[in-house]
Amino acid sequence: MKQEVKEFLWNELHLELSEEKTHVTHVNEGFDFLGFHIQREEPKDNRPWLRITPTQKSEQRLRDTIRKMTSRAYGWELVPEKISAINRVLRGWGNYYRHVSSTVAWKKMDWCMSQRMLIWLCARHKGSGKRAILRKYLIHQGRRKNWGVEDGQGKVYLFMLRDIHLSQYRRKTLNNPYLEDEATPIPAYEIESPHIETWDGTLSQSKAEWLERRTQALVRDNYCCTVCGSTEELEVHHVKPTGGNRLDNLQTLCQKCHEKTPSYGTNRSLSSTGRNSQ
């Protein structure tokens, strides 16, 4: 059967089967595919059913991401900004698994996220005891208590994965629940703050805004030096040193052309490497 699949992929779809990534296993033992663990369960009543859950690797990657975002190695952003950044990661991960058996995984991850927030807040307010942290940031959200803070426009709470509505695959139809249609609309992700969405909480907000603006300048100039057309060792130059990071004040130059500009020494700290070196 494996050989037949290999020939079909090659002859009909012009795809080559990867021998290293392909193996044959029994469905009762289960297998991982695209972040999902698929395994047939055979309970005592002899009515087999298919269980689909998030993989352990996927859960670990999420824990690693949140641990990195709450690490002491990164700057102390404002608490609302940190919570909003973490919420975007949690929403993306949770919605990916909202059509499978994710309840157990969500409960574990909610507990893990709560512990990481406590650790980060204690480190941020070094010298304050846990009780002081709990009194200040563990506030009421409806009938429950959750990590939250006032941000000037309202209260921002840590997103709980258990709040995602679990919607199982429809078994009598062939519609794909990940494709939007009238029967299964995909909910829009809520944006809780005006911060840029590419920021993941591991950089200062000003640094993240500069990285985004730098990328916009490189894309606008087609990753080419605007003076000589070179695509090697690209840097983003500020036309006016005091003009700020406005897009109309940025110019893509290669390193040689950048060195010839009068304000090169002033702006070199804001230069960036181009696509080829990345």
As averages over each run of 10 residues, the pLDDT of the chain (278 residues) reads: 90 89 86 91 80 92 90 70 89 91 91 91 85 89 87 85 78 60 48 42 63 85 88 86 84 86 49 40
Regarding whether 69 and 7 lie in a shared domain, the answer is: no
Identify whether the C-beta of residue 260 lies closer than 8 Å to the C-beta of residue 216: no
Q: Domain boundary at 106, 138, 163, which?
A: 163
- Joined together, the tokens standing for residue 172 give 């009598």
**Domain span including residue 18:** 2-54
Report yes or no on 36 lying in a domain. yes
**Helical residues (DSSP H) of the chain, grouped into ranges:** 2-12, 56-69, 79-96, 103-124, 130-137, 205-220, 255-260, 264-267
Read out DSSP for 113-148?
A: HHHHHHHHHHHHTTT--HHHHHHHHEEEETTEEEEE
Which residue type is seen at 171? R
Crossing angle (nearest 10°) for helices 103-124 and 79-96: 170
Report yes or no on 8 lying in a domain. yes
Report yes or no on 224 lying in a domain. yes
Q: What local confidence, expressed as pLDDT, does residue 188 receive?
A: 43
Q: Domain boundary at 130, 163, 196, which?
A: 163
Regarding whether 155 and 60 lie in a shared domain, the answer is: yes
Regarding whether 126 and 95 lie in a shared domain, the answer is: yes
Regarding whether 118 and 25 lie in a shared domain, the answer is: no
Report yes or no on 103 lying in a domain. yes
In total, how many domains does the chain have?
3
Q: Domain boundary at 54, 73, 90, which?
A: 54
Report yes or no on 46 lying in a domain. yes
Look at the chain and count its residues: 278
Q: What local confidence, expressed as pLDDT, does residue 172 receive?
A: 56
Q: What's the rounded Cα separation, in Å, for the pair 5 and 16? A: 10
